[in-house]
Amino acid sequence: MQADIFTWLGLAAGTITSIGFLPQIVKGYKTKHLDDVSYWMPFVIAAGMTLWLTYGLLRNDIAIIVANAFGVGCNILLILMKKRYS
């Protein structure tokens, strides 16, 4: 598979968007405090990203697949951390 400019653009966008979850995960892990995080926010985002992941799989679009698989994982992790630390 040879990546074209659109694939690289998609991977860059997905990387930047997906790393936005990391500060909340790191902060939650360090403080063990996620009371200010709603259950609904990561659940709704994970549901939407799961649909995007499905779309990416059907289109065989690696940029959409990678970004949304990582995002879904981050949101599931936030939900599990909130459950554990609350």
10: domain CATH number?
1.20.1280.290
- Longest alpha-carbon distance in the chain: 46
> Percentage of the chain with pLDDT > 70?
98
Q: Is the pLDDT of residue 1 over 60?
A: no
Domain count, the chain: 1
Q: What is the pLDDT of residues 26-49, one digit of tens each?
A: 999 999 998 888 899 999 999 999
Mean pLDDT, rounded, for 1-5? 74
Domain containing 60: what range?
A: 5-85
What pLDDT is attached to residue 23?
A: 92
- pTM of the model as a whole: 0.87
What pLDDT is attached to residue 78?
A: 94
- Residue 6 CB: number of other CB atoms within 10 A? 10
